[in-house]
Amino acid sequence: MKRSHYMMVTMLISGVLFASGFALSSEGPQGQEKDLLTATLSLEEAIGKAKAKFPGQVLETELEREEGQAVYEIEIASTTGVVTEVKVDAQSGEVLSSDIEDHDDTEQEESGEKDTD
């Protein structure tokens, strides 16, 4: 009798832990991903917008949320080897910014500001 009592308690605790874990997971990162999926611009369209300003080979793409809006980050390597990260608004298709990456994997604003140590 004690054995069945322990098994019932164990099953009850397992069920509660499973249910609470499931409830927590539905509020976590999956909720944020839902916001990212509201992009009206396709990845191909975003790449087209980025390559129109920065021709080259696409190295990497990501869809992220920045300041509440969905943004495509697209890394493009030019024919001279310069790698530029271009941010494109996933709703409007507007090119928001671009950063040129150094050989040190650090980024610089395209505005021409460079370290002169």
Condensed to tens digits (0 to 9), the pLDDT of residues 34-88 reads 544 578 899 999 999 999 999 999 999 999 999 889 999 999 999 999 999 999 9
Paired strand residues for 98 = 86
Please give the Cα distance from 98 to 32 (Å, whole number). 24
Whether residues 51 and 23 share a domain: the answer is: no
The per-residue pLDDT for 97 is: 95
Phi, psi values for residue 2, rounded to 5°: -65, -35
Whether residues 26 and 62 share a domain: the answer is: no
Split at pLDDT 50, 70, 90, the class of 1 is: low
Split at pLDDT 50, 70, 90, the class of 12 is: low
- CB-neighbour burial class of residue 37 (10 A; exposed 0-12, middle 13-18, buried 19+): exposed
Whether residues 55 and 80 share a domain: the answer is: yes
Question: Residues 6 or more apart from 114 whose CB is under 8 A from it?
Answer: 108
Whether residues 54 and 81 share a domain: the answer is: yes
Whether residue 9 lies inside any domain: the answer is: yes
Whether residue 103 lies inside any domain: the answer is: yes
Is residue 14 predicted with pLDDT exceeding 90? no
Task: Select the more confidently predicted residue: 10 or 26.
Answer: 10
Whether residues 48 and 68 share a domain: the answer is: yes
Give me the percent of the chain exceeding a pLDDT of 90: 47
Going by C-alpha positions, the residue among 52, 90, 83 that lies closest to residue 69 is: 90
Whether residues 19 and 58 share a domain: the answer is: no
Domain total in the chain:
2
Over the chain, what is the mean pLDDT? 74
Phi, psi values for residue 116, rounded to 5°: -125, 75
Whether residue 99 lies inside any domain: the answer is: yes
Q: Which domain does 67 fall in, by range?
A: 39-109
Whether residue 70 lies inside any domain: the answer is: yes
Give me the percent of the chain exceeding a pLDDT of 70: 56
The per-residue pLDDT for 49 is: 96
Whether residues 25 and 69 share a domain: the answer is: no
Whether residue 114 lies inside any domain: the answer is: no
